[in-house]
Amino acid sequence: MGKIFISYRRDDAGEAAGRLSDNLVERFGRDSIFMDVDGIALGRDFRTVIEETLGQCGVMLAVMGKDWLQSKDAKGNRRLDQPTDYVRLEITTALKRDIPVIPVCVQGAGVPSCDDLPDALKNFAFRNAFELTHARWSSDVQLLTERLRPYMEPVAAPQANNPPPPTHSYVPPAHVPSAQPPLVAPNVALPAVKQKSSKKIVKWALVGLLFLMLLITFGSGGDAALGGCILFGLPAIFLIWDPAKWFVAKP
């Protein structure tokens, strides 16, 4: 929130400026009002303090009474003509910083013409003024408060115009294994199992046939040569087929 800088001369409109300050403090808070250069710490350059304070203010109220323009110092010189005059410094600094300066006229005073002002203050003559009257003080202050409210509201920071995030479909990396098992189990080993089973059946069928022929040969008393062929020929076939391992079960 910005601050309101109240510029005034104590011997010109000190009472009206103090009353106005109290009314604005009630509406905006004490920290929002800067009024008196008397609050400047000892030893500090008041020109620097005025510059720093105006850097925190959003608007200046230049309270002017009937003697504001022609106020003189102890030597009889007009104060506005002196470069070190604090009222002149306050207003010229605000004008240079392009801070809105509102002439607040009290006691029936009016805004002076640019011909009556020194060169550093001539632009002050073209500022739109506001009048505070004793008879309508409360309503005038209420109206002034409403006019000041836009200067007191913090400026909203512009929101970044961020583009929406890209909507790309996700494709898992090739090196990441899938968490789901394959739907169809590989059947490469099925033919080998079937082949082993068939081979084992054929082997045992031939063994059974061998023993059957031996029983027939020795039981019928047939030719010994035929029995020898059967007895030694068939085992030879088995040995050639699967040497010395056909009785052993294979994994």
CB 37 within 8 A of CB 50: yes
Chain-centroid distance, C-alpha 43: 44
3-state secondary structure of 151: helix
Structure tokens at 209: 């046939």
- Listed in sequence order, the residues at least 6 apart from 67 whose beta carbon sits closer than 8 Å to its beta carbon are 9, 11, 12
Nearest to 1 by CA among 52, 45, 46, 59: 59
User: What values do phi and psi take at 248, rounded to 5?
Assistant: -95, 130
236: confidence class by pLDDT, cuts 50, 70, 90: low
On whether the CB atoms of residues 210 and 234 are closer than 8 A, the answer is yes
Q: What is the mean pLDDT of the chain?
A: 78
Task: Answer yes or no: is pLDDT of 41 > 90.
Answer: no
Q: Domain residue spans in the chain?
A: 3-152, 190-241
pTM of the model: 0.60
Question: pLDDT confidence of 245, banded at 50, 70, 90?
Answer: low
d(CA 37, CA 89): 12
Q: Is the pLDDT of residue 69 over 70?
A: yes
Asked whether 32 and 57 are in contact (CB, 8 A), the reply is no
Segment among 43-57, 115-129, 150-164 with least mean pLDDT: 150-164
Q: Indicate the DSSP class of residue 189.
A: T
Token pair listed for 246? 């056909």
Residue 223 has pLDDT above 50, yes or no: yes
For residues 4 and 170, give the distance between their C-alpha atoms in angstroms, rounded to a whole number. Answer: 57
For 88-143, write each residue's pLDDT tens digit: 999 999 999 999 999 999 999 999 999 999 999 999 999 999 999 999 999 999 99
Specify the CATH number of the domain 3-152. 3.40.50.10140
Burial class (CB in 10 A: 0-12, 13-18, 19+), 120: middle
Average pLDDT of span 7-32: 94
Rounded to the nearest 10 degrees, how much is the dihedral formed by the CA atoms of 89, 90, 96, 99? 180
